[in-house]
């Protein structure tokens, strides 16, 4: 019988794996079909052997005899050894035990930021990543807004990334331009691309609208639109500006 080479995940070439919905164990696992009256594994494969499924071992441990220890997740001290008297059987779950990889590694997954999480992140030195999409570009980028101190810096970085996009005038003069309605119109119809962002309220705004710090707090994602499309945003931008002053 040939021995198959191990693949990268250590499994030989001839294997059968049965999967689980959303299962992320070190392999895939089958849904508990017995629970819903669906067929279990032994009915899937066509056994020609006669055997009667034996009942599970009845000689299992009495619950009260289990030597279990109630562990709170924060308790990292050493656990008692076998000489301790048996504790009541209730078990709090311990981090990372049993050692089965969870489907979503909660800690490591990129979480959708809630507002509080964003606030916490912005308060500390943690990065604030937002997605940047450019109309017509095949893929998104992510930028860390904390890396920049002004619109100018952001513009420079995005310019490097996408190379064909210009934010026009930014900085305080640029902001003033944005606040000046007629100049805004010139700017929009002139440039090819215009940066916009989605703020906390879900509105799409022109970048440069608000002071930088406020922008970092409220920006959820960036979208570099074609100039023509952004024209419709200008009046709303003006409204919001007026409301804020």
Q: How far is the CB of 136 from another protein (least distance, A)?
A: 13
Which among 89-97, 169-177, 199-207, 223-231 is the span making contact with another protein, rule CB under 8 A?
89-97
d(CA 159, CA 167): 8
Rounded Cα–Cα distance for residues 57 and 180 (Å): 81
Show contacts with another protein in window 49-88 (CB under 8 A).
49, 51, 53-54, 56-57, 59-61, 65-69, 74, 76-79, 81-82
Count of residues engaged in binding another protein, rule: CB under 8 A: 86
Query: Can residue 185 be called a binding residue for another protein (CB under 8 A)?
Result: no
Which of 70, 88, 101, 228 is in the footprint of another protein by CB under 8 A?
101
Q: Is-contact 211 176, C-beta < 8 A?
A: no
Phi, psi (deg, nearest 5) at residue 70: -80, 120
Closer to another protein by Cβ: residue 52 or 182 = 52
- Taking CB under 8 A as the rule, which mask of x and - marks residues 16-45 in contact with another protein? xxxxxxxxxxxxxxxxxxx---xxxxx-xx
User: How far is it, in rounded angstroms, from Cα 68 to Cα 56?
Assistant: 23
Q: How far is CA 87 from CA 22, 73, 82, 93, in A?
A: 35, 17, 11, 15
């Amino acid at each position: 019988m040939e021995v198959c080479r191990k693949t990268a995940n250590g499994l030989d070439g001839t294997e059968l794996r049965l999967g689980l919905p959303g299962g992320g164990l070190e392999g895939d696992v089958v849904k508990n079909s017995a629970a819903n009256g669906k067929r279990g594994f032994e009915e899937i494969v066509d056994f020609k052997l006669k055997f009667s499924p034996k009942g599970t071992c009845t000689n299992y441990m009495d619950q009260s005899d289990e030597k279990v220890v109630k562990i709170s997740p924060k308790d990292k001290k050493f656990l008692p050894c076998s000489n301790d008297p048996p504790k009541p059987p209730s078990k709090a779950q311990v981090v990372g035990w049993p050692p089965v990889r969870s489907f979503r590694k909660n800690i490591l997954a990129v979480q959708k930021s809630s507002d509080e999480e964003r606030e916490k992140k912005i308060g500390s030195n943690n990065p604030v990543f937002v997605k940047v999409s450019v109309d017509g570009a095949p893929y998104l980028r992510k930028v860390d807004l904390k890396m920049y101190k002004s619109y100018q810096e952001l513009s420079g970085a995005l310019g490097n990334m996408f190379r064909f996009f210009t934010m026009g005038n930014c900085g305080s003069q640029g902001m003033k331009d944005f606040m000046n309605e007629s100049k805004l119109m010139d700017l929009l119809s002139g440039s090819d691309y215009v940066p916009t962002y989605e703020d906390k309220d879900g509105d799409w705004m022109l970048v440069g609208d608000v002071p930088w710090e406020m922008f970092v707090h409220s920006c959820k994602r960036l979208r570099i639109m074609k100039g023509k499309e952004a024209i419709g945003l200008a009046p709303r931008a003006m409204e919001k500006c007026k409301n804020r002053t």
